[in-house]
Amino acid sequence: MLLAVDIGNTNIVFGLYEGERLVHTFRVSTVRTRTEDEYGVLLLDLLNLRQVSVASIDAAIVASVVPPLTDVMVAAIRHAFSREPLVVGPGLKTGVRILYDNPREIGADRIVNAVAAFERVKGPAIVVDFGTATTFDCISPKGEYLGGVIVPGIQVSLDGLLQSAAKLSRVELAVPERVLGRNTTHALQSGVLIGHAALVDGLLERLEAELGYSSTVIATGGRAGLVAKNARRIGSVDPNLTLEGLRILYEKNRDRSGAQRSPRARPAPESS
């Protein structure tokens, strides 16, 4: 099995692939203070939860937007599975030409999403990823990564508002029945979720006008389902798009992978 790891600012998502089939996913909170041993134990416990054998993990790939955790996760995988994981970064074959002023500034997850989107549509695409930030990533008809937009995410926006407005209190992130809120809870929900959907539609319209052609729009990320219901320009939602991109990147770089057991680690025992 291939272990795909997407380290985000809020959550870490793990995916297990048998060939091209995603068979298990796990989502845990991103904790920057955890050690490699703690993440190793966490990984073993997650596998044990789904009754997956440690020995079945024969390769791994990691994408991270939290630099302090990248080496920690690599070491955790190395020690837990005796495998050397691939890490998304400079030197990895992507099949996507990056037309960005400084490619090193791009979050690994954004490149991974671009790879997955172009592999799927074989044409122009825009990926909208609803995470800690809401990001828009544009892929040309030739499969080039053109750049995009970054705006504060839904939860970040809400938290910032609540910290600055003394009379407002936390609300459930649920879409209200109407845009017009007749109480503070519904007004906040409308502004945060329907307002974010309007922002998405507006930016997509402007991006396509600037590009000069229409694109297939794919939404991903933890809040994608909530917003997509009210965003007219989103064509489809795939919560596992980043994991799929990691699988594709692994296949493109299989010859560089650490599928062989790492000489720096001993085989890990089966979790009980």
The residues annotated as belonging to the active site are 109
Q: What is the dihedral of CA 119, 123, 126, 128, to 10 degrees?
A: -30
- The sign of the dihedral angle between the CA atoms of 179, 184, 189, 194 is positive
Q: Identity (one letter) of the amino acid at 61?
A: I
Q: How far apart are CA 233 and CA 194, in angstroms?
A: 13
Q: How far apart are CA 218 and CA 226, in angstroms?
A: 14
Q: For residue 6, list its beta bridge partners.
A: 13, 63
What CA–CA distances, in Å, run from 34 to 76, 84, 104?
A: 11, 20, 26
Q: Given the structure tokens 């910290």, which residue do they identify?
A: 163
